[in-house]
Chain A
Amino acid sequence: MNQEKKKLTITIPEEEIMQAGHLACQGCGAAIAMRYALKALGKDIILDFPACCWSVIDGPFPYSATQVPLFHTAFETAAAVASGITNGIQAIGNDHTTVMAWAGDGGTFDIGIQALSGAAERNDNLIYTVYDNEAYMNTGIQRSSATPHGAWTTTTPVKHFKKGEKKDIDSILVAHGIPYLATTSIAYAEDMVKKYKRAKEIRGTKFMHVFAPCPTGWKSDPAMTVKLAKLAVETGVFPLYEVVNGKYKLSIKPKELKPVEEYLKLQGRFKHLQKDDIDYIQKKVIEKWEILLKKVEMFGE
């Protein structure tokens, strides 16, 4: 064992921009996501939220947990409002403030995809974050196109659990030719902070896909949020990678993927699944993982 004293390097900024007293549920992944994102991006920022959990988490008038300028807008407009903000500040001579749209998976994969596609096509100078908890959690756990195969939600009850794959939003965004896309996870804080810092330095549309478990909707133990996010990466359910100008780069490459069952069994939303269902999910995860590895191989640096 190396007895030499190592100097601890703190890579995550210590300053807390997001304040205590927010209204998130216990163990909310989306709250952790915001905390790290703001630490990375700093106070010189303008946020906009569509309707999503964060419409509530930030606090009702006159409170705000984020303590930064913030525009709450309608469900499908996070990207378009951010386009307006970024063009607005540019027009009045502000070239330093970061503009970030911060939306849930419903507001991104479903109702907001048109505005997002528009902003990405124009390559407007903004960061778009989707904090992905894989369903409409704020309205009461309804399925979205980000809900994975096999999951229970209130609109996909156990007898008719979600059939069909989660929409591959990242490939859709990569196809727009944006300069930067990253998948990140609240379980890998340093990786997340590094990616947000990188996004801040790039001009154009940056897409950040943050995996944010939701104990309320996933029927999981609030204490297991970070563990679940970590397992999602370790099982290959949610791989971490970057796409810089079309070049794929894996951020975390597990030596061997853990069985997906380890991830599924901690969540009540999957407890009805039979062995066949789990085998099917396992097969799809491996398929997608291999496709990703091929992309890294073909379009890597």
Chain B
Amino acid sequence: MTTKYEALTGAEAAALAMKQINPDVVAVYPITPQTPIVMKFSEYVANGEVDTEMVRVESEHSAMSATVGAAGAGARAMTATAANGLALMWEIVYIAASTRLPIVMGLVNRALSGPINIHCDHSDSMGARDSGWIQIYSENAQEVYDNYFMALRIAEHKDVLLPVMVCQDGFITSHSVENVLPLEDAQVKKFIGKKNFKGLLTSEKPYTIGPLDLQDYYMEHKMQQHDAMKHVIPVIEKIQKEYAETFDRKYEIIEEYRTDDADMVIVGMSSVMGTVKDVIDMMREEGIKVGAVKPRLFRPFPAEKIKNVLSKFKAIIILDRSDSFGSFPPLYGEILASFFAAEKKPYIKSFIHGLGGRDTNVEMIKEVISELQKLRDTGESNFTIDYLGVR
């Protein structure tokens, strides 16, 4: 039922997914390393392979504004950005979520300036973790591709109606060629279905979006946003199940790798987990019982699930690809909070790695595993935060 493998970069996989979604409006502004998505999609538009109205705006601020306007008008609207682009969008990123517009945005994770750095880390999306968007992190090009379709369904689900960021690692995923197994156009069309949300801006029944909302209503609207986020995890589970049944591709909110008999694990998100899995395979040859746990969803944070998964182990090390200066790195902090009420807690330690595209290589992961063994056996470095691979 599926077509054959294609050699695609993560960015091309994103553009292909967007083509197959065939959105009504795409408003974009170029920023490295998101540009190959924009260029490839422009080609699809120029060749008439999509029906999309493409708005080539003059900034990311306007990209998000135009996307929000189009979605508000009732169109299926998408955009893509990275790093400083997301930072420039900031205020409209919040408006997209709080006005409950089901936008899907490709985010190619890149370090925020300064100093200027165009390579991967998660400082951009982690800064937006309280903006009200759903955040899905992709390990490789195949995941990027599949995540787009599921993201669209999640965003437009009647119990959710929230925007979704589909994150992939800048350059590491966006510019590396991998084998991707695409779906056929008709399969995608059937899976995503027709847009089931009506535009608010219809002359037949006038609505006002985002009006002045003060002490007497604002909090009720915020609570509705809070409640919508609570619906997300069950909706994702349902959609992932349907995706698996339809296309034989199984995704979980939290992916476990060789954890059955493991007593210690590395936890991390996105592309580094490919390296982690390889190193785990090597260590397994040496009889070291180590596994990996990869949350694919960061917002809403699957706290209950993560606690249930991780409480099986004696020691865990969490890899964060961003820092929260003066506090806990984002993933580490969330996991600590998830465990607060648990009876059984593993030893836990944090490594900040790969900032500004610093390669997290096999040797570094071996070092992490050696730290993990010490942590398991002695508990000495429990609750510590260190930088990995710095001079």
Interface string of B49-72 (1 = CB under 8 A from A): 001110111110111011111111
- Closest approach, in angstroms, between the C-beta of A89 and any C-beta of chain B? 5
- Cβ of B51: which chain A residues have Cβ within 8 Å of it? 91
Contact status B77-A84, CB under 8 Å: yes
Closest to A75 in B: B91
Could you tell me the distance between the alpha carbons of A61 and B222 in the complex, rounded to whole angstroms? 14
B66 and A87 form a contact (CB under 8 A): yes
Whole-angstrom distance between the Cβ of A96 and the nearest chain B Cβ? 9
On whether the beta carbons of A85 and B61 are closer than 8 Å, the reply is: no
Interface status of A219 (Cβ within 8 A of chain B): no
Q: Flag if A71 contacts B69 (CB, 8 Å).
A: yes
| A121 close to B58 (CB less than 8 A) | yes
Q: Is the CB of B69 within 8 A of A58?
A: no
Complex contact B56–A89 (CB within 8 A): no
B10 interfacial by beta-carbon distance below 8 Å? no
In the complex, A118 has a CB within 8 A of chain B:
yes
Q: How many residues of B contact A (CB 8 A)?
A: 45
Name B's A-contacting residues (CB within 8 A).
24-25, 27, 51-53, 55-59, 61-63, 65-75, 77, 91-92, 95, 199-203, 206-214, 216-217
| B75 contacts A64, C-beta separation under 8 Å | no
CB distance from A51 to the nearest CB of B (A): 10
| B71 interface neighbour in A43, A68, A77, A88, Cβ under 8 Å | A88
B57 CB contact (under 8 Å) in A44, A83, A88, A97: A83
| Among A43, A58, A115, contact of B58 (Cβ-Cβ < 8 Å) | A115
Which residues of A (58-95) have their CB < 8 Å from a CB of B? Answer: 58-64, 67-74, 76-77, 79-85, 87-92
A71 near B62: Cβ-Cβ < 8 Å? no
The 9 A-B pairs of least Cβ separation, nearest first, read: A84-B69, A118-B58, A88-B70, A84-B66, A88-B73, A88-B75, A80-B65, A80-B62, A91-B24
- Chain A positions within 8 Å of B206 at CB level: 64, 67-70
Chain B, residue nearest A60 (CB): B212
Given contacts A80-B65, A84-B55, 8 further A-B contacts (CB under 8 A): A59-B212, A64-B208, A74-B92, A79-B62, A80-B66, A83-B69, A88-B70, A115-B65
> Measured between alpha carbons, how far is A62 from B209 in the docked complex, in Å?
10
Closest to B67 in A: A84
29 A-B pairs (CB sep. < 8 Å):
A43-B203, A58-B212, A61-B212, A61-B213, A61-B217, A64-B206, A69-B203, A71-B208, A71-B210, A72-B210, A73-B210, A74-B65, A74-B91, A77-B65, A80-B62, A81-B68, A81-B72, A84-B66, A84-B71, A85-B201, A87-B27, A87-B70, A88-B71, A89-B199, A91-B51, A114-B61, A114-B62, A122-B57, A124-B55
CA gap between A55 and B75 in the complex, in Å: 24
* Chain A residues, CB < 8 A from B209: 70-72
Taking a contact as CB atoms under 8 Å apart, the answer to whether A91 and B92 are in contact is no
Q: Are A77 and B25 in contact (CB under 8 A)?
A: no
Q: Which residue of B lies closest to A78 (CB)?
A: B65
CB distance from A206 to the nearest CB of B (A): 17
Are A44 and B203 in touch, CB under 8 angstroms?
yes
A110, B65: Cα distance in complex, Å: 17
Query: A122 near B55 (CB under 8 angstroms)?
Result: yes
Q: Closest CB of chain A to B222's CB: distance in Å?
A: 13
Q: Which residue of chain B has the shortest Cβ distance to A77 in the bound complex? A: B65
Which residues of chain A are near B210, meaning CB under 8 Å? 71-73
Which A residue's beta carbon lies closest to that of B58? A118
- Cβ of B201: which chain A residues have Cβ within 8 Å of it? 46, 69-71, 85, 89
What class of interface size applies to chain A in its complex with B?
35 or more
Cβ–Cβ contact A73 & B95, under 8 A = yes
Which listed residue (B27, B52, B69, B74) contacts A48, Cβ 8 A?
A: B69
Assembly CA distance A39 to B94 (angstroms): 34
Interface flags for A30-59 (1: CB within 8 Å of B; 0: not) read 000000000000011110100000011011
A44, A59, A91, A115: the one contacting B70 at CB < 8 Å is A91
Whether B212 pairs with A83 at a CB distance below 8 angstroms is: no
Report the Cα distance A48→B207, complex, angstroms.
Answer: 12
Q: Could you tell me if A88 and B25 are in contact, using CB atoms closer than 8 angstroms? A: yes
A117 at the interface (CB under 8 A from B): yes
Residue of B nearest to A67 (CB): B206
> Does A69 contact B212, Cβ atoms closer than 8 Å?
no
Please name all residues of chain B whose beta carbon is closer than 8 Å to the beta carbon of A63 when the two chains form the complex: 211
A91 with B211: CB separation less than 8 A = no
Selected contact of A80 from candidates B61, B73, B77, B91, CB within 8 Å: B61
User: Does A60 contact B69, Cβ atoms closer than 8 Å?
Assistant: no
Of B66, B71, B91, B200, the residue contacting A83 (CB under 8 A) is: B66
Could you tell me the distance in whole angstroms from the C-beta of A100 to the nearest C-beta in chain B? 12
Chain B residues with CB under 8 Å of A74's CB are: 65, 91-92, 95
Interface 1/0 per residue, A266-299 and B, CB below 8 Å: 0000000000000000000000000000000000
The verdict on A122 contacting B208 (CB below 8 Å), with A80-B69, A83-B69 known, is no
- Contact indicator B212/A68 (Cβ below 8 Å): no
CA distance A115 to B72 in the complex (A): 18
Q: How far apart sit A127 and B27, CA to CA, in the bound complex (Å)?
A: 19
Indicate which residue in A44, A56, A71, A90 contacts B72 across the interface (CB closer than 8 Å): A71
Task: Establish whether residues A90 and B53, one from each chain, have CB atoms under 8 Å apart when the complex forms.
Answer: yes
In the bound complex, residues from chain A placing their C-beta under 8 Å from that of B74 are 88-89, 92
A87/B62 in contact, CB under 8 A: no
Write out the residue numbers on chain A whose beta carbons fall within 8 Å of the beta carbon of B59.
Answer: 114-115, 118
**Contacts known (A46-B201, A77-B62, A92-B75); A84 close to B214, Cβ less than 8 A:** no
| Closest A residue to B24 using CB positions | A91
**Residues of B contacting A71 in the complex (Cβ-Cβ under 8 angstroms):** 69, 72, 201, 208-210
> A89 vs B199: C-alpha distance in the bound complex, in angstroms?
9
Which of A64, A67, A77, A124 is within 8 Å of B92, CB to CB? A77
Contact of B213 among A60, A79, A117 (CB under 8 A): A60
The answer for the CA separation of A68 and B62 in the assembled complex, in Å, is 24
With A74-B95, A97-B203 known to touch, is A88 a contact of B69 (CB < 8 Å)?
yes
Question: What residues of chain B lie closer than 8 Å to A87, measured between beta carbons?
Answer: 25, 27, 53, 55, 66, 70, 75
Residue of A nearest to B205 (CB): A69
